[in-house]
């Protein structure tokens, strides 16, 4: 058992799976000798060689398309798109090909690939490096969208993503890459996809989040506890397909729900969860579902990002509003 950061957990999972399965290859810009711009692939090239840890030309559509070709031809490719803003280019390949190949060939072909990309703001990065594209990916049929929020879950979910027989878009919260460490056993045990994780149990309100906003949501729950409010905290982890049952069951107990995301508000994934609660959980709700989201604005350049990312105060304010209702 070692105490490691989230980005080290990504690295550990990649290493484990490349060791276990000779079909796993890693590709992307600067993933080889450089070990990736965030060092997620550090040491892989030395260990597994440049044929399996592939420095690609600087071409995102190529990376996504090649990954699809490799996966169909029997490899288990894990591609890295260097920054979230560059991932928009690859949506064409994911929606038109990765998500459809199994379906349109009636199961004759499959596309067992992982597309990793760091997401979210909060590290004073250049423009186009701080996006939260999860809802765009979650809209795509035929794929999975996973967004871990801790080293242990990052390790287990990445193993699951690589072993999954279908395409997985694996979003990584840049802000959490080195925020904290956790004990992670390199035991090769994958976590379940398609399921939420209840991180904290509570009876007064359900806080739902994923990826980079989870630590802030947990911090809000801590502070609420000091004021006698017991918040249940759910990490969605796999956004698509969504485990709505866990969220519905929690809200059936608490009667109140606040959904927290760093993405802009309109058509956000928080909206999807709120709609699901309205459709199937209305009679269990004691208050309207609150969404805590970014504003419908362009991700600001870094001097304003702290005012853009919803913080603990906004989460607590939303909880208070939900508690005050009725």
**Dihedral (Cα; 184, 188, 192, 194), 10-degree rounding:** 100
Tell me the backbone φ, ψ of residue 270, rounded to 5 degrees: -60, -35
Please tell me whether residue 150 binds another protein under the rule CB under 8 A.
no
C-alpha to C-alpha distance for 132 and 200, rounded to whole angstroms: 25
| Residues in Cβ contact with 217 at an 8 Å cutoff, skipping those fewer than 6 apart | 207, 209, 233, 260, 315
Please choose, out of 11-19, 178-186, 209-217, 241-249, the segment that lies near another protein by the rule CB under 8 A.
Answer: 241-249
Choose, by CB under 8 A, the member of 190, 225, 230, 244 that binds another protein. 244
Please choose, out of 9-17, 98-106, 211-219, 303-311, the segment that lies near another protein by the rule CB under 8 A.
Answer: 98-106
Structure tokens of 229? 């409010």
Binding residues for another protein restricted to 100-129, rule: CB under 8 A: 101-110
Please tell me whether residue 47 binds another protein under the rule CB under 8 A.
no
Q: Which residue has the tokens 């009636």?
A: 106
CA atoms within 13 A on the CB side of 136: 17
How many other CB atoms sit within 10 Å of the CB of residue 74? 9
Nearer to another protein, 106 or 303 (CB): 106
Return the SS3 of 40: coil
How many separate helices (H) and strands (E) can be counted in the chain?
Answer: 12, 14
Binding residues for another protein restricted to 245-264, rule: CB under 8 A: 245
Closest separation in Å from C-beta 80 to another protein: 15
Closest separation in Å from C-beta 119 to another protein: 22
Please tell me whether residue 133 binds another protein under the rule CB under 8 A.
no
Q: Do 172 and 10 touch, CB atoms closer than 8 A?
A: yes
Residues designated catalytic: 129
Return the SS3 of 259: strand
Closest separation in Å from C-beta 91 to another protein: 12
Binding residues for another protein restricted to 161-200, rule: CB under 8 A: 165-166, 194
Please tell me whether residue 282 binds another protein under the rule CB under 8 A.
no
List C-alpha distances in Å: 305 to 130, 241, 311: 9, 30, 11
Q: How many residues bind another protein (CB under 8 A)?
A: 48
C-alpha to C-alpha distance for 269 and 125, rounded to whole angstroms: 24
Binding residues for another protein restricted to 201-240, rule: CB under 8 A: none
| Residues in Cβ contact with 326 at an 8 Å cutoff, skipping those fewer than 6 apart | 286, 287
Cα 12 from chain centroid?
Answer: 17
Choose, by CB under 8 A, the member of 61, 185, 192, 297 that binds another protein. 61
Choose, by CB under 8 A, the member of 15, 97, 153, 291 that binds another protein. 97
List C-alpha distances in Å: 232 to 149, 173, 211: 16, 22, 17
Please tell me whether residue 30 binds another protein under the rule CB under 8 A.
no
Please choose, out of 74-82, 115-123, 148-156, 251-259, the segment that lies near another protein by the rule CB under 8 A.
Answer: 74-82
Nearer to another protein, 52 or 291 (CB): 52
C-alpha to C-alpha distance for 152 and 3, rounded to whole angstroms: 10
Please choose, out of 12-20, 32-40, 67-75, 258-266, the segment that lies near another protein by the rule CB under 8 A.
Answer: 67-75
Please choose, out of 37-45, 51-59, 155-163, 178-186, the segment that lies near another protein by the rule CB under 8 A.
Answer: 51-59
Where along the sequence are the contacts to another protein (CB under 8 A)?
A: 25, 51-52, 54, 56-57, 59, 61-62, 64-75, 77, 92-93, 96-97, 101-110, 141-142, 165-166, 194, 241-245, 279-280
């Amino acid at each position: 058992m070692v105490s490691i950061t989230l980005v080290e957990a990504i690295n550990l999972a990649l290493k484990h799976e490349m060791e276990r399965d000779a079909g796993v290859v890693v590709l992307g810009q600067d993933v080889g000798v450089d070990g990736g711009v965030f060092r997620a692939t550090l040491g892989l090239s030395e260990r597994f060689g440049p044929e399996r840890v592939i420095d690609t030309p600087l071409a995102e559509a190529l990376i996504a398309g090649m990954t699809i070709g490799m996966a169909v031809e029997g490899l288990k490719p894990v591609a890295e798109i260097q920054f979230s803003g560059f991932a928009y280019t690859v949506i064409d390949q994911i929606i038109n090909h990765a998500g459809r190949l199994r379906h349109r060939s009636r199961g004759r072909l499959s596309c067992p690939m992982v597309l990793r990309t760091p997401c979210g703001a909060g590290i004073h990065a250049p423009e186009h490096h701080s996006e939260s594209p999860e809802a765009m990916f979650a809209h795509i049929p035929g794929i999975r969208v996973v967004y871990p929020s801790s080293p242990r879950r990052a390790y287990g979910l990445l193993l699951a993503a690589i072993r999954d027989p279908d395409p997985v878009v694996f979003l990584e919260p840049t802000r959490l890459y080195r925020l904290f460490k956790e004990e992670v056993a390199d035991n090769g045990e994958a976590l379940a996809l398609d399921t939420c994780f209840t991180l904290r149990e509570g009876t007064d309100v359900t806080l739902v989040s994923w990826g980079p906003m989870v630590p802030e949501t947990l911090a809000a729950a801590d502070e609420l506890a000091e004021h006698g409010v017991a918040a249940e905290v759910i990490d969605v982890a796999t956004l698509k397909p969504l485990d709505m049952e866990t969220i519905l069951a929690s809200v059936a107990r608490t009667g109140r729900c606040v959904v927290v995301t760093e993405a802009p508000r309109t058509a956000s994934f928080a909206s999807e969860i709120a709609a699901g609660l309205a459709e199937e959980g209305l009679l269990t709700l004691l208050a309207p579902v609150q969404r805590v989201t970014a504003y419908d604005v362009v991700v600001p350049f870094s001097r304003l990002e702290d005012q853009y990312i919803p913080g603990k105060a906004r989460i607590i304010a939303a909880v208070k509003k939900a508690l005050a209702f009725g």
